[in-house]
Amino acid sequence: MMTKMYFFLLICHAASSAKHSLVYRTISYTGVSNFPEFQAVKLVSNVKVAYCDNNIMTTVITEDWMKKYMEDHPDILQLHNKRCIFSYMTFGRIIDDVIHSLNLTEDAHVFQSLISCEWETQIREMNCFGQLGFDGKDFLTYDLNTKKLCVSVPRFHKHKIPDYDQKDYSFTVDNLVPYLLKEYVEYANSSLPKTEFLSVSLLQTSPSSPVTCHATGFYPHRAVMFWRKDGEEVHEGVEHGEILPNNDGTFQMSVDLNVSSITPEDWGRFDCVFQLADEKNDIVTRLDTAVIRTNGIRYDRGSRVVVGLLLLIFCIVGLVIWRRKNTMTQQWVQGLVTR
């Protein structure tokens, strides 16, 4: 029954020919005050999409696309809600069993579980593993050959694993997680948009700051973005950002170009290229001040010249006024002296 705790899920979205992974973890504490005794957090592409703990005893969905999935699969949501309660009770029992079998004190202890599966869709190969830890150290490891949980370190050899825990864990690693992984991948590939909401923009906070090429609203997350000069990729003065998830299941990314050393005449030689997996056509955005989005001010080359001329005029006018006032002052002082 220990293995029916399946609601910490991570699936790394990728193209149809890429690897997909699903991981779920649970963690339980004892002897720790002001902290939930049990927690389960569900991640998709390293983003928390759902969570559960012993205080709420239900699954809370935090991402829009996962909400839609649960609406389309109410039986899965009901299953997750039941597992929240079941897992809390099971983990509490496991901690108590370990404490008594090893004659440990009733101090603070922590128990963790991790099951991971990776699916290579191109060759239809599924690789899974399972591992459990106690107080931050390896406790049990699932042997794929014997289909058994094996003690990882001699310290825990005294602990006997019940047969029902062995069977349930084996069922979870070998059947349940692979099934859920394929479910998520198929749903993501069929329902999440690829380029429908994709947009690429050039951003700049000030005339002296780097120009950011920013793409958002794309799926899957296998994409590349880079700057080119005369058709060749540029590395100097370029800083790549990470691919980050959006709340709707799509992704965003950016790459900066330092333009401080680029002359206005050379701007037209640069462009930003965005390439999405399985898409034949690249999105190319030329470095042009006319399309750069700023903080409410458009800094094109013409405006820079105008601003410079205005500053020069102000300086000249100020100098003339200062000299005139200085001459009048000198004449006034000289008049006082000659009186």
Superfamily name and number for 2-191: MHC class I-like antigen recognition-like (3.30.500.10)
Per-residue pLDDT band for 319 (boundaries 50, 70, 90) equals low
CATH code linked to domain 199-293: 2.60.40.10
DSSP string, 266-331: GGGGEEEEEEETT-SS-EEEE--GGGEE-SS----HHHHHHHHHHHHHHHHHHHHHHHHHHHHHHH
Q: Which residues contact 261 (CB under 8 A, 6 or more apart)?
A: 237
Q: Where are the domains of the chain?
A: 2-191, 199-293
Task: Reply yes or no on whether the pLDDT at 268 is more than 90.
Answer: yes
The rounded distance, in Å, linking the Cα atoms of 169 and 161 is 11
Task: Reply yes or no on whether the pLDDT at 326 is more than 60.
Answer: no
Task: Reply yes or no on whether the pLDDT at 194 is more than 50.
Answer: yes
Q: What region, left, alpha or beta, does residue 296 occupy, with left being phi > 0 and alpha being psi -120 to 50 degrees?
A: left
Task: Reply yes or no on whether the pLDDT at 58 is more than 90.
Answer: yes
- Beta pairing, strands 60-61 & 244-245: unpaired
Tokens of 209: 């700051």
The rounded distance, in Å, linking the Cα atoms of 213 and 203 is 6
Residue 243 identity: I
Q: With contact defined as beta carbons under 8 Å apart, do 66 and 49 qualify?
A: yes
**Beta partners for 43?**
48
Task: Reply yes or no on whether the pLDDT at 193 is more than 50.
Answer: yes
- Which pLDDT tens digit goes with each residue over 214-259? 999 887 778 899 999 999 999 999 999 999 888 777 889 999 999 9
- Averaged over 167-191, what is the pLDDT? 83
Alpha helices in 102-247 (DSSP H): 163-171, 177-191
- Which pLDDT tens digit goes with each residue over 92-111? 888 888 888 778 877 888 99
- Averaged over 7-14, what is the pLDDT? 34
Q: How far is C-alpha 249 from the geometric centre of its chain's CA atoms?
A: 11
Give 332-338 contacts, CB < 8 A, sequence gap 24+. Answer: none
Max avg pLDDT among 161-165, 201-205, 329-333: 201-205
Q: Which residues contact 112 (CB under 8 A, 6 or more apart)?
A: 25, 26, 27, 28, 132, 133, 134
Taking the whole predicted model, whether its pTM rises above 0.85 is answered as: no
